[in-house]
Amino acid sequence: MSTLTRIAVLGAFLALAACSGGGGSPFGGGGGGGGGPPLFDCTGGSEFDYEGTFSDGKTYCAYGPGTIKADAAYAKGATGAGAVVAVIDTGIDPAHTELDANISPDSIDIVRGDPMTDEDGHGTHIAGIIAGEKNGVANHGVAYDATILAIRADTRITNPTVCGGPDPCSVFFDADITAALNYAASRSANVINMSLGGPAPLAASAEQALIDAMTAGAVIFAATGNDGVAQPAYPAAYAGDGTINVSGQMVAVGAVDKTGALASFSNRCGDARNFCLVAPGVDIISDLPGNSLAVGSGTSQAAAFVSGGAALLIGTWPTLTPDEVVTILLTSATDLGAAGVDALYGHGLLNMDAAVAPLGTLTIPLTDSVTGETVVLEGTVLSLGPAFGDALKGSLLLGQALALDDFDRDFVAGLEGHVIRSERGFGLDALMTGGGIETIESALPNGAKVSVGMSDQLSVARGADTVGLASDASPERQVRGMSLAVTGGDGTAYRFGYGMTPGQLVADAAVDSAATLFWMSGDLLNPQHALVGAGAAFSASRDMGSGNLLSVGLVDQSEVEEDVAGGARIGEIEWAHEFAGGAVLTARFSNVDERSGFLGSDAAGGFAVAGADSRFYVLGGRLPLGAGVEVLGSYTVGRTNMASDGTSLLGDWSDARADAFGVGIVKNDAFGTGSRIGFLAGQPLRVNSASARLTVPVEYGLDKTVVQDTERVSLVPTGREIDLQLAYERSIGTGNLSGWLMMQLEPGHDADAPPAYGIGIRFAHSF
């Protein structure tokens, strides 16, 4: 025989108003709900005057959704659609215009078998908090597109001792709770809301039904009770019972008010603290039978908020397992009270903003399965070298890529923000590099000589760090590079060193003497040198006679700059011929081996490449015109082969072709002896042909399969930068004054970029 347990609904409410007949809106405005005043005056000083602005732009007198930050979930597309929430309660009003579209046809009065009704009103109120429709009328539920599986399991009795007065009240028998749980499990409910409770444990059959429902895949949220005591009522107390809640799918829920303070009536989390949350439960507006609204208070209402939050998660990510849903809600909660999990608030206040945000490490799947190879999103960066300009700016596929968090939830990866485009700028920071080259030279027999050069820069050492100049620190010279040059009497020369750049290693007889006038002239005349930093170096040259000079050189960046991932190296060979009239023609071949990048680009994570090999051909010359005037020029063409390791988002590369050019004119002794003025124009290195296959994950299936989309993308920039420069230089005593006026058209090879202007002035003095 069934026994009557002391189980009752855990909420009370005050009916405030009823909607007009025929679907009229309580907000006025002829039933549309958009233009009239709210049902309650949110500025009138009433104890129920709580405003909350929702994602539809309307202002309602309800604070609960704002307190749990539901709008953040809505902004990410969460609505609860697809989630089924079983509400074991006093029934539901099936004709309520705020609920009728969301009520499952499987809803049932499991006690009487009669058509669904709600004589008490409690079940309708709770259902409205969970899944009241978002239809522009009144307020809406947390998961406004979720499905409510209403299971009426109460029995109406008239017992002043139990009901606290002469009016009938609802109570629940163990057998009916058992039947309701089993029914919810049989209908594949994702969430079960139990806003009911009492001081005594349930019968063994009901305890087993709890276990069976969780085994079937449901998460259960139960109100802690309204007695203001230290321990939750039953069934919420089972959340702390490792025998019942062995799978971690049951959560006890306490109530807080608008300020986040624990409601005076709310039972504490107590022994269920490890599986306990709190949510709004004081003066909560929701539905009442007869198209009415009411304000209610209790842990019943708080449990409904958390059930709605769970429905938002499940509807957005159906692949989540029940225990993952619980873990996400617990770990994302806003900590209240004592730091960490405590006996009053448990894990804290439900926070849907944090719950729908990525948890753990975001990774990008590289295969069609989440168990396949992945790369960390944060470490996935493509820093394109200046030669690529604004390439990939128009790739829509980058913006569609998804990433997965530790719970295999998919999020928009925002890969377009992981592509960084480098611009050359004017490099004015180089004005203050300081330092110089000190050379010691010694003659050897047979016309040979040895010279040792050392370059340095002024810095301040403090501990292990190098910092800027400061009055309390002593400046000191730091060695930046050294070289040893040996010149033989037979026209041969050898040079060894470290900390040397490619431009320092093999002098370009065609252009260098005139090009030193200009700012960053190497970017136009020998752009391949910028791809390799200073490193260990070797060069050899031989005068072949008849004005011919042959030079070879090698710089290995990785030998010196250990902090540069992979490093790079360059090998060069140059032939130069000087004609009788002083004109010089040079031809140079350079091979650049970049171990982890390509054409000055750095690629890591999902964009990583296995390096690149580039070949550059440079034809240059200098032509004296007389009267101290000379013309110089250079044209560079290059071809780069990318090496892919097969796991990059960018693969199947074509060869990248690039070119650069520069032409200038210099007038020596223009305004007195030792002065020079010149004009230089040209294009820095620009990729004019390059493409790759971009493959990114764009969809995530219920079976945890990943759909990859692919397209051929161009890495050619939209614009073509043209640099113009006017330079002047003159000697002043033992010093030197230099100045530059510079202009860049379509800077960064970006067709939409406005012109850029620069000015530089430098005075160098020898001591």
Question: Which residue type is seen at 86?
Answer: A
> What SS3 class is residue 404?
strand
> What SS3 class is residue 566?
coil
Cα–Cα distance for residue pair 146/522, rounded to 1 Å: 65
> What SS3 class is residue 647?
coil
Cα–Cα distance for residue pair 341/17, rounded to 1 Å: 40
Distances (CA, A) of 157 to 14, 120, 126, 169, 288: 21, 11, 21, 6, 20
Cα–Cα distance for residue pair 750/291, rounded to 1 Å: 60
> What SS3 class is residue 203?
coil
Cα–Cα distance for residue pair 111/103, rounded to 1 Å: 19
* Paired tokens of 672: 């007195």
Of the candidates 661, 658, 680, 659, the one whose C-alpha atom is nearest the C-alpha of residue 729 is 680
Q: Tell me if 639 sits within 8 A of 655, measured CB to CB.
A: yes
Element counts in the chain: helices (H) and strands (E): 13, 43
Question: Which residue type is seen at 201?
Answer: P
Cis check for the bond before 280: say yes or no (omega within 30 of 0).
no
List residues bridging with 602 in a β-sheet: 383, 597
Of the candidates 406, 358, 364, 405, the one whose C-alpha atom is nearest the C-alpha of residue 382 is 364
Neighbours of 391 (CB within 10 A): 25
Cα–Cα distance for residue pair 571/274, rounded to 1 Å: 64
Of the candidates 750, 758, 742, the one whose C-alpha atom is nearest the C-alpha of residue 718 is 750
Tell me the pairing of strands 108-109 and 147-152.
parallel
Cα–Cα distance for residue pair 551/545, rounded to 1 Å: 13
Please report the sign of the dihedral spanned by the C-alpha atoms of residue 56, residue 59, residue 65, residue 69. positive
Q: Tell me if 644 sits within 8 A of 673, measured CB to CB.
A: no
> What SS3 class is residue 549?
strand
Q: 376's torsion region: left (phi>0), alpha (psi -120 to 50) or beta?
A: beta
Q: 23's torsion region: left (phi>0), alpha (psi -120 to 50) or beta?
A: left
Cα–Cα distance for residue pair 61/306, rounded to 1 Å: 20
Cα–Cα distance for residue pair 433/700, rounded to 1 Å: 52
Q: Tell me if 410 sits within 8 A of 700, measured CB to CB.
A: yes
Q: Tell me if 424 sits within 8 A of 748, measured CB to CB.
A: yes
Q: Tell me if 101 sits within 8 A of 133, measured CB to CB.
A: yes
Residue for token pair 């113009």: 724
* Paired tokens of 69: 């930050």
Q: Tell me if 709 sits within 8 A of 743, measured CB to CB.
A: no
Please give the distance of CA 451 from its chain centroid, rounded to a whole number.
54
- Three-class SS of 290-345: CCEEEEEECHHHHHHHHHHHHHHHHHHCCCCCHHHHHHHHHHCCECCCCCCCECCC
Cα–Cα distance for residue pair 238/10, rounded to 1 Å: 17
> What SS3 class is residue 658?
strand
Catalytically active residues are 89, 122, 300
